[in-house]
Structure 1
Amino acid sequence: MQIRLQTDQLRAVLDSHGAELVSLQNSTGKELLWSAGTQWPRHAPILFPIIGRLVDDVLHHDGRDYPMTQHGFARDCDFTVLEATDNRARFLLKNTAATEAMYPFPFSLEASWSLDGSSLNLNFRLTNTGKEPLPASLGWHPAFHWDPAPGWRILFDEQETDHIRRVNANVQLTAATDPTPVRDKILPLTEEVFARGAIIFESLRSRTIRYISPTGPVLDLAFAGFPQFTVWKQKGANFVCLEPWAGLPVQESYRGEVLTKPGQMLLQPDESHRFSCILTSHR
């Protein structure tokens, strides 16, 4: 089921499959999102309950093994539509027998979208509805138009740390760090800067980033509740992903119990965490 939201400055299309944003157009009708082409067949998936890929695609808990594919299952699930109006939509995903075969934990994940002028607001609420701690990571993975012309860049609102993290070919976190390619709060967006894959900021100071084209600002992305941030593009593709994360991929050597996996949230019974993103179009 698709839901259309609209103001006089922004138009968005959401799909209940994955609660995914599949179109975002500015006031001139220009499409800002990637087209989900053959190089990467998605637009802006929600990553839950893991980010990246587990070693051998297996989650270990309480002596049992559970198959879990890359970035978890939320992006491939049908969410329940709780609300749909001209400028607001709410979606809900809860544990089912199908999710428990991959992830044996009760949970509730609500994704709420709204338009306000030239801004798209996204709010998540993750709740542990079970009786034991809930291990989880949550990320948003939107892909925006980019082309090879020089001048594309990201401007951070704070000076970031002098190192970044990387993942291996299996999207698992490597032990080593790399020097940051950010200089004076600016990350140039070129094929060369992504030659070694995604750029992961393990502890981001900035709470807003600006996405800038050769002709000026395109988008501002503000977020709260997400400690990490990642920038990624597929080689040769005309998009860049700007990804707020709450959690990190598994370390490439980790094969242990999911409850003790480093770099994730651990919600206690009845505990909820909230997260938000505000995406503002400049044209």
Structure 2
Amino acid sequence: MDIIELVSEHGRARIARQGAQVLDAELGGVPLLWLSPLAAFEPGRAVRGGVPVCFPWFGKHPTGLPAHGFARNRDWTVLAQDDRQARFELCDDEAGRALWPHRFRAELTVALEDAALRIDFAVENRDDAPIEFTYALHSYFAVDDVRACRVEGLEGRLRREVGHVTMPQQGIVALAEPIDAVFEIAPEPLILVEGERRVLIEADGMRSAVVWNIGPDNAQADIGPHWPRYACVERGNIGAAAVHLAAGETHRAGMRLSRSRATRSDATRSIAPRSNGH
């Protein structure tokens, strides 16, 4: 698998040409993104961890096509790269149109900024008719123990889960229990907190958020016993935030990730877990 490495005085990141997927990253010597020790590096198979690109649909497809689209399993073209930035392109082809019959061009740029990792995503409609799609940057954050984590910024937003009644989020989102919660309309920024460590998740043009950890009972083969070491907090546009593009239009969005220590008020705030409907 072709891998590009970015390095700066602030951090490092590795990106696979397959899927234009950030595999792992660290900022200030501290891991930012999690890559499963059991991840499989096989052509056409998504790698577990980092930031897979779920496009042109997120989640299960109503007709049974592969979940999360095909972009994460395809080789992207490298348009440009240097020590701090890499830019990738994916265009429609015969194989892609067999799954999603539209002409498009997608571009993804990964950059090490000052003490931050930035991912910019754009999709151009090259069809003669409007298109609709959903997507997410499926970020796996490295944590010591997901059960001690919480996500701030989603209070009061409608939360949807399979088998649960959609209702407003009550307080912070605690990750003490397995979770697969979709917030189709979410604010920015969001903050992932574990003890005194924080990850600031800033989004531009991405209206949705997903919080996910599969837990011990349903851990997949490429996660296994390592499930406590990641917390997925994803940004994108899904469900009610699906993107509609007229012919010739381009959708542009971005996500910026940075780490910091909690403030004194954060450190003294109670983080007693909530049931969150589980």
Give 1:42's aligned residue. 48
Question: How many angstroms does 1:5 deviate by?
Answer: 1.0
* Alpha-carbon distance in 2 for matches of 1:39, 1:3: 18
Give 1:227's aligned residue. 207
Give 2:12's aligned residue. 11
SS of 2:36's equivalent?
Answer: coil
SS of 2:32's equivalent?
Answer: coil
8 Å contact kept, 2:21–2:72: yes
Give 1:199's aligned residue. 181
State the identity %.
Answer: 26
Question: How many angstroms does 1:225 deviate by?
Answer: 0.8
SS of 1:69's equivalent?
Answer: coil
Instruction: Give the alignment partner of residue 83 of structure 1, picking from 75, 80, 85.
Output: 80
What residue identity is the alignment partner of 2:209? F
Return the structure number with greater relative CO, CA threshold 8 A, min gap 6.
Answer: 1
8 Å contact kept, 2:27–2:116: no
- 1:217 lines up with 2:197 in the alignment: yes
* Alpha-carbon distance in 2 for matches of 1:112, 1:91: 6
Change in CA separation of 1:8 and 1:272 when aligned onto 2, cut-off 3 Å: same
Give 1:259's aligned residue. none
Question: How many angstroms does 1:149 deviate by?
Answer: 7.1
* Alpha-carbon distance in 2 for matches of 1:37, 1:137: 29
* Alpha-carbon distance in 1 for matches of 2:146, 2:256: 27
* Alpha-carbon distance in 1 for matches of 2:93, 2:166: 38
> TM-score, normalised on structure 2?
0.80
* Alpha-carbon distance in 2 for matches of 1:277, 1:129: 24
Instruction: Give the alignment partner of residue 177 of structure 1, picking from 166, 177, 181.
Output: 166
8 Å contact kept, 2:200–2:257: yes
What residue identity is the alignment partner of 2:166? T
**RMSD of aligned residue pairs (Cα, Å):** 2.1
- 1:271 lines up with 2:269 in the alignment: no
8 Å contact kept, 1:2–1:13: yes
What residue identity is the alignment partner of 1:187? V
1:238-249 equivalent positions in 2, closer than 5 A: 238=228, 239-248=230-239
For residues 86-129 of structure 1, what are the alpha-carbon distances to aligned partners after superposition, in whole Å with 9 as ceiling and x for unaligned? Answer: 10110000001110111110001000111112111111111101
8 Å contact kept, 2:156–2:168: no
SS of 1:160's equivalent?
Answer: coil
* Alpha-carbon distance in 1 for matches of 2:241, 2:8: 38
For residues 216-247 of structure 1, what are the alpha-carbon distances to aligned partners after superposition, in whole Å with 9 as ceiling and x for unaligned? Answer: 13311100111111100011212110111212
Give 1:141's aligned residue. 138
- The number of equivalent residue pairs is 242
8 Å contact kept, 1:141–1:242: yes
1:94-105 equivalent positions in 2, closer than 5 A: 94-105=91-102
SS of 2:99's equivalent?
Answer: coil
8 Å contact kept, 1:113–1:121: yes
Give 2:58's aligned residue. 51
Question: How many angstroms does 1:145 deviate by?
Answer: 2.0
What residue identity is the alignment partner of 2:182? I
Instruction: Give the alignment partner of residue 189 of structure 1, picking from 153, 165, 175.
Output: 175
Question: How many angstroms does 1:144 deviate by?
Answer: 1.2
For residues 142-166 of structure 1, what are the alpha-carbon distances to aligned partners after superposition, in whole Å with 9 as ceiling and x for unaligned? Answer: 111234476421221x7533x3111
> TM-score, normalised on structure 1?
0.79
What residue identity is the alignment partner of 2:194? S
What residue identity is the alignment partner of 2:21? E
Question: How many angstroms does 1:32 deviate by?
Answer: 2.7
* Alpha-carbon distance in 2 for matches of 1:23, 1:110: 20
Change in CA separation of 1:220 and 1:99 when aligned onto 2, cut-off 3 Å: same
- 1:70 lines up with 2:63 in the alignment: no
Structure 2: stretches of 5+ with no match in the other structure: 41-46, 217-226, 262-278
Structure 1: stretches of 5+ with no match in the other structure: 58-67, 169-173, 249-261
